[in-house]
Amino acid sequence: MLGCAWLLGFAMYAPMLCIPPMAHIIKKEMGVSHAAVGFLFCVPVTVVVLLATPAGFFADRLGTQKAVLIGSVVMAFGSLMRVTSTSFASLLLFTSIYGIGFSIIFPNLPKLVGSWFPREKVGLATGVYATGITTAGAVALAVTLPLVFPLTHTIQGTFFFWSMPAVLAAILWWAVAKDPPLSSRVRSDPQRATHNSSPSYSLWKDKNMWLIALLLFFNDVHFYTWSGWSPALFMDKGASPELAALIASFRGWVGLPMIFLMPWASYRVGLRKPFLWGSGIALTLASWAALYIPVPMGWPLMALIGIATSGTFSMILALPLELLPDEKAGTASGIVLSIGYLGGLLGPWVAGLIADATGNFDLALLMLLGTGLMWAASGFILPESGLRATQQR
């Protein structure tokens, strides 16, 4: 089941993250602006904002296996249909269908982990399947322009190539996936579950849910803005399109082990908060440095961004399972994703608008600096959910 979740994560993100390396080609062939390409890139995230909450509620009643099966089929269909796109409007339409499937799947991955793994291993298991997401970004950014696009010399052919993982994931999930027996599901801290399950309890009034959602919001602002516009940023600094895409992909390669290692380190020391607020400070410094550094310094810059965004991503996804009630896992994850992924929508889009208006990304980097500071503040305020804190209670 963890392998299925890994493949789903890869299949969700590869069709989206193949867009940034081709941004200049899409812009030229379809006669659209930076902002339009930025919006195309984050269309699946837009759909997550709209549908993740009802999708999580839907899965809590239908079951994870059936909900993810529906989502994987819709995702594969939408991704494949992009091959037929002859205009930017049709490309947006089919990317939106792909995003619907994406949105049905995503809230169920944390719930899947919460159902199959004990509470103390949820963060590590989340880190394992989340490496599929990071791998998709690193591979798609690195090989789309130099290897995949030359095979077909078309945008549509490239989309077909990156649709194959989604097709395979749908088939594999249909063949082997299942929900765990009710008797085998591991419950979390009974004290927390009993308190949160009282008749007066409401997720919408839980301040922890809002803090988790803010952390994901700031994470996604950085992840999607850096993913979407790093190639263009380095091209503005003088790099070739191929070198710019390769440097941008370094974020994913460095982030790939960190998406597992940071949750592991957090569990070893029994603390979450230092990793969360520390990553916010690191991204603040990275955003400031990006204003001035030359192209060769892009490698360590993207490494730092990969460590901060990827390492905390899986930790944030696991937080609803640590701080919110188990029986509302799907709904809680859906709400957090809907709010959090608004950052993935706004970040690249606003950065594209800034580039169109000013001719560079300087103001966008200052925007990232500000969100990094707010990320650090949210991490300070969030209650500690590590083992040290729970043992003291």
Give the start-to-end residue ranges of the domains of the chain: 2-176+207-387
pLDDT of residue 330: 67
Distance CA 276, CA 215 (A): 8
Place of tokens 């993810």: 68
State mean pLDDT over 220-241. 88
Q: At residue 172, does pLDDT exceed 70?
A: yes
More confident: 373 or 229 = 373
Distance CA 388, CA 393 (A): 9
Q: Average pLDDT, whole number, for the chain?
A: 83
Q: At residue 165, does pLDDT exceed 60?
A: yes
Lowest-confidence range among 268-282, 292-306, 333-347?
A: 333-347
Q: At residue 83, does pLDDT exceed 50?
A: yes
DSSP, res 281: H
DSSP, res 327: G
> Which residue type is seen at 115?
S
**pLDDT tens for each residue of 102-124:** 988 888 887 777 777 776 677 77
State mean pLDDT over 153-175. 89
SS3 231: helix
pLDDT of residue 388: 66
More confident: 17 or 114 = 17
Closest to 98 measured CA to CA, from 2, 218, 18, 31: 18
pLDDT of residue 31: 79
Q: At residue 192, does pLDDT exceed 80?
A: no
Place of tokens 């837009």: 46
Distance CA 31, CA 44 (A): 22
Inter-residue contact 110 to 133 (CB < 8 Å): no
**pLDDT tens for each residue of 30-51:** 877 777 887 787 788 788 888 8
pLDDT of residue 120: 65
State mean pLDDT over 195-200. 53
pLDDT of residue 164: 93
Lowest-confidence range among 230-239, 331-340, 368-377?
A: 331-340
Distance CA 168, CA 72 (A): 10
pLDDT of residue 189: 45
SS (H, E, C) 161-216: HHHHHHHHHHHHHHHHCCCCCHHHCCCCCHHHHHHHCCCCCCHHHCHHHHHHHHHH
Start-end of H helices in the chain? 2-17, 23-30, 34-41, 43-62, 64-81, 88-105, 108-116, 122-143, 149-152, 155-176, 190-196, 207-236, 241-269, 273-289, 298-323, 329-340, 342-358, 362-381, 387-392
Task: Determine the topology of domain 2-176+207-387 in CATH.
Answer: Growth Hormone; Chain: A; (1.20.1250)
370 phi and psi angles, rounded to 5 deg: -65, -40
**pLDDT tens for each residue of 258-271:** 887 888 888 888 88
Q: Which of 2-6, 63-67, 285-289 has the highest mean pLDDT?
A: 285-289
Question: Token digits for 319?
Answer: 């937080």
Q: At residue 301, does pLDDT exceed 90?
A: yes
Distance CA 336, CA 348 (A): 20
Distance CA 244, CA 390 (A): 45
pLDDT of residue 183: 46
Full-prediction pTM beyond 0.85? no
Q: At residue 380, does pLDDT exceed 80?
A: yes
> Which residue type is seen at 342?
L
**pLDDT tens for each residue of 111-158:** 777 777 776 677 778 878 888 887 887 788 778 888 888 888 888 888
